[in-house]
Amino acid sequence: MSFAAQHNIGSYVVPVTSVFPESAAAGTINGSSIDRMVHNLPNSCVLHQVVGAESGAPTTASVQTKLQDSPDNSTWNDYKAGTTTVQETAALTAANSENSAAIDLGAANRYIRAVTIVSFTGGTSPAILVAADIVLGGERELAAV
């Protein structure tokens, strides 16, 4: 890596929000799709999820985000990166926390998105603040610097 790259990582990664911040009840949130062609078909990404405050006093909460891909931006499948394992983050069970998962996009279709699954035990109309980003890296052709 060149000296210049060490001081300008922004030239090598592209953060994209897929699940915009929202207060979520139990259920599944399909994030916005990302066209990998627009970003020169990146070969990898970091799937990042964050949760904020809970409301409704649930006994337990779980938030997990997985990556899905699609060849046509309409038919979606859980992305498995050439294995039988769905590419996803570990579940978050504490308010005001975050985590991420590094994912190889070598076998991914053109379109990708984050899908966040929220579940609760107990509480009265529980909800939690959630968001998910995908940080793209390893573009096949970098922009001119």
Please compute the mean of the pLDDT values over residues 55-60 and round it to a whole number.
Answer: 96
Indicate whether 143 belongs to any domain: no
% of the chain residues with pLDDT over 90: 81
Its pTM stands at 0.90
Whether 102 has a pLDDT exceeding 60, the answer reads: yes
Q: How many domains does the chain have?
A: 1
Indicate whether 44 belongs to any domain: yes
Which domain range does residue 75 map to? Answer: 3-137
At residue 9 the predicted structure's pLDDT band, cuts being 50, 70 and 90, is confident
DSSP category for residue 125: S
Indicate whether 144 belongs to any domain: no
Using CA atoms, how far apart are residues 68 and 56, in angstroms rounded to an integer? 30
Indicate whether 145 belongs to any domain: no
CATH classification of the domain holding 23: 2.60.120
Whether 132 has a pLDDT exceeding 80, the answer reads: yes
Residue 19, classified by CB atoms within 10 Å of its CB into exposed (0-12), middle (13-18) or buried (19+), is buried
Using CA atoms, how far apart are residues 16 and 32, in angstroms rounded to an integer? 10
Per 3-state DSSP, the chain is made up of helix, strand and coil in percentages (nearest 5) of 10, 50, 40
